[in-house]
Amino acid sequence: RSMNTFLIIYLIILISEAIISTILKYTWQAEEKWDEPWYNQKTEHQRNSSKILRFISDFLAFLVLYNFIIPISLYVTVEMQKFLGSFFIGWDLDLHHEESDQKALVNTSDLNEELGQVEYVFTDKTGTLTENEMQFRECSINGVKYQEINGRLVPEGPTPDSSEGNLSYLNWSPYLFHRRKFPVTSNLVLPPKEEALMIKEHGLFFKAVSLCHTVQISNVQTDGIGDGPWQSNLTPSHLEYYASSPDEKALVEAAARIGIVFIGSSEETMEVKTLGKLERYKLLHILEFDSDRRRMSVIVQAPSGEKFLFAKGAESSILPRCIGGEIEKTRIHVDEFALKGLRTLCIACRQFTPKEYEAIDRRLFEARTALQRREEKLADVFQFIEKDLILLGATAVEDRLQDKVRETIEALRMAGIKVWVLTGDKHETAVSVSLSCGHFHRTMNILELINQKSDSGCAEQLRQLARRITEDHVIQHGLVVDGPSLSLALREHEKLFMDVCRSCSAVLCCRMAPLQKAKVIRLIKISPEKPITLAVGDGANDVSMIQEAHVGIGIMGKEGRQAARNSDYAIARFKFLSRLLLVHGHFYYIRIATLVQYFFYKNVCFITPQFLYQFYCLFSQQTLYDSVYLTLYNICFTSLPILIHSLLEQHVDPHVLQSKPALYRDISKNRHLSIKTFLYWTTLGFSHAFTFFFGSYFLLGNDISLLGNGQMFGNWTFGTLVFTVMVITVTVKMALETHYWTWINHLVTWGSIIFYFVFSLFYGGILWPFSGSQNMYFVFIQLLSSGSAWFGIILMVVTCLFLDIVKKVLGRQLHPTSTEKAQLTETNSGIKCLDSMCCFSEGEAACASVGRMLERVIGRCSPAHISRSWSASDPFCTNDRSVLTLSTMDSSTC
């Protein structure tokens, strides 16, 4: 976007120069002696031609003469840089996950620089922040809570010294098993018969868990499996379940450990072993899960001929549709599970009479065979079937956090990036996980916008939150929003909602549908600030938000590859996001910014002398440079140094960038492609061009002979001198901008200058038979034979770059940025800051050593010059506390 703006500005400059040249030409020719001089008489056709046509013709001729100011080759170079630069992400060993042997993938190279401009990160929770490896922990059956300990399902409340075979139960209910009474005791162990009885009395719950799923099973020997109630050691070694959802796999495995083992299915049947007894259920219908219903169901026919519907889903989608069971107790238990950070599902069932089943079977058939509005009809039928349910209980599974999630979120926050978590989990579960992963701090003021039922209530709550943010003297606020409240807020109160969100350091959206995630991201994208957004997800339900964000990151997790395939970049773990943004994003942005600015700079240097030359040739459209030089300037003489720089430049060590996330702030808001920076480079280009031209003019003007034989230089020698100084200056300027030198940089930088000299000697030393004119024959050789020309070349190059060096030195001395300070660090056995722009060796003045200043210009420092290193109490170099608290550095530290 910035590049297009710059091109428009340069197009205006081109047109302006062409118009000025055309007007001045006709102004000059207003005098008769210059309109038709004796040595350039007009033809009869020229005298009789239209003045308007001549004006247009001259204007177009000047456009052609100056058109090289528009860097057309910039687009080619940018595309090459993006394509070739994208390979570095895949080659980065720090982005390689050894356990899964997965490296980072780049699906598009057009967004590399956007990685350095991210202001908002939207992330899913399950599988993105967590491992997506579910472990069954607890359940609620008929209003009683149980937890799995050492492969046994026991009532909740074992003492810490409990062990298998000796469990003491707290809050033991005499009516634990619904109809069967057990005595209250402080140290109770259920005998195997009692365990079997418990399974039988709670069999419907476990059978629902074993049947309501889409799990597949490997073809293994199943004889002997499930013959006892507690087969925790036997089951995993014989059965291997495969599921698209880790939740389903964890629940089916838990039921198998308890003694109700799912051992296989076909298109029509599902087989379950209950305490060794094989039962075959006829699978009649599957009501697939979708994000709107947030539940799935199966209709099966039991061996006895009864037809059941088993349903499971979020408590918000199951409990309102239940008419029986321990609804209130289960609701309390679900909330308690959620507070522990566990993922919850509710289990319910419904038994059909033959007449009811016949009706729903007919309606399902009609909906599934409908030729029009099939999805809507199926949704209506599903809603009709999944009602009047009997609540059986709820399950709770644990999904542990990935490694270094807390550190990654903290690094992003220090980099000035706001992190939003968008999840479909229950409110309590989401808040618990946000606290554990560092998304919310314990000291953060947590605001809530939940359980809103009306537009007026939502608006009033938003106003109250806005007032609290204004009145509370708290540095950081966190906001929790649930799906229904978000829908109300986005309906009529978008501006108020966005004001509240922008005032919060962290936002958590729970009970979110996939489309709601995309809407939230779009809302941020179209806000007045137009921030760059990034979305991270691992599953198919995250694809919509990944595609909506400016940059989409897919996690190659356990829910398939839909997210990775539909994303711009794919990484194996969330922790790699910090390196992707803070290191690669930083490098890509700096490289592309320097590439764009440098291209405009060197083209201004190239064409401005051509414009100035017209003042000395009566605007006759005489070219200053030979046509071969015009063609090869951007193709051969100056292209490789900037291309290699844009691929290999590392202005700060990667480890420093990752350890100091606040350096990311230095490139935020498109700072290096701002109008201010663009004007600096453009002004620098014009100043250098004036130095080239007038320096050469004063050297060769006034009929001075620079050759020993008294021979004079002509206009082609003058143009060649200007071109030679220009090629050397813009190449050395690129060298001054380079902080990370490799043998490739040396080869292309100094090799470009050597190639220019060799080519010019070769091109000007031969009479080319296919060339229409021999204007350049012996010109370059004759130019280099003059010692004064050599002195002039060196003097003009030094003059051009001296002011730029002084500006860099003074800028680093007086107003150093945090990045410039970080350029003075060195990584050895850990990262420590060796020097500061405001700190010098004892007794040394700021400008005591010119050599040291030059080292500062190119971003280096010599440890030998340094008498102090940053201490642990330094507010900037250790952990950037000064940046986070928005306080300036105390001068006493320097």
Annotated binding site: 124-126, 248, 289, 312, 343, 423-425, 511, 517, 538, 541-542
Cα 165 to chain centroid distance, Å, stands at: 51
CA dist 662 → 138, 404, 658 (Å): 42, 18, 9
Paired sense of beta strands 130-141 and 389-401, if any: antiparallel
Give the separation between CA 634 and CA 72, rounded to whole angstroms: 9
Give the separation between CA 560 and CA 540, rounded to whole angstroms: 8
Q: Which helix (H) or strand (E) holds 123?
A: strand 118-123
* Half-sphere exposure for 381 (CA within 13 Å, toward CB): 24
Q: Taking Cα atoms as reference points, which of 74, 176, 128 lies closest to residue 437? A: 128
Helices (H), 549-626: 562-566, 576-579, 586-613
The annotated binding site for Mg(2+) is made up of: 124, 126, 538, 542
- Is-contact 361 424, C-beta < 8 A? no
Residue type (1 letter), 466? A
- Is-contact 289 283, C-beta < 8 A? no
Give the separation between CA 891 and CA 877, rounded to whole angstroms: 14
220 φ/ψ angles, rounded to the nearest 5 degrees: -130, 170
399 φ/ψ angles, rounded to the nearest 5 degrees: -125, 105
Q: Which helix (H) or strand (E) holds 328?
A: helix 327-339
Q: Which helix (H) or strand (E) holds 247?
A: helix 246-258
- In the chain, how many H helices and how many E strands? 35, 24
Tokens of 656: 């420093």
Tokens of 692: 């080239």
Q: Taking Cα atoms as reference points, which of 138, 113, 11 lies closest to residue 69? A: 11
| Interacting residues of 346 by C-beta distance below 8 A, sequence separation 6+ | 312, 313, 314, 315, 318, 319, 330, 334, 391, 393, 394
Catalytic residue among 124, 247, 568, 880: 124
CB-count burial class (<10 Å; 0-12, 13-18, 19+) for 873: exposed
3-state helix, strand, coil in the chain (%, to 5): 50, 15, 30
671 φ/ψ angles, rounded to the nearest 5 degrees: -65, -35
- Is-contact 589 113, C-beta < 8 A? yes
Cα 770 to chain centroid distance, Å, stands at: 54
3-state class (DSSP) for residue 134: strand
Give the separation between CA 90 and CA 98, rounded to whole angstroms: 14
CA angle 559–565–570, rounded 5-degree value = 85
CA dist 202 → 143, 195, 248, 293, 396 (Å): 12, 11, 19, 27, 17
Give Dmax over CA atoms of the chain in angstroms. 128
873 φ/ψ angles, rounded to the nearest 5 degrees: -85, -5
Give the separation between CA 694 and CA 697, rounded to whole angstroms: 5
The annotated binding site for ATP is made up of: 124-126, 248, 289, 312, 343, 423-425, 511, 517, 541-542
388 assigned to active site: no
- Is-contact 776 708, C-beta < 8 A? no
Give the residue carrying structure tokens 């490896």.
133
3-state class (DSSP) for residue 886: coil
Give the residue carrying structure tokens 């986070």.
884
Tokens of 287: 């009501």
Give the separation between CA 534 and CA 892, rounded to whole angstroms: 40
3-state class (DSSP) for residue 163: strand
Tokens of 623: 């070219």
Mind telling me the catalytic residues?
A: 124
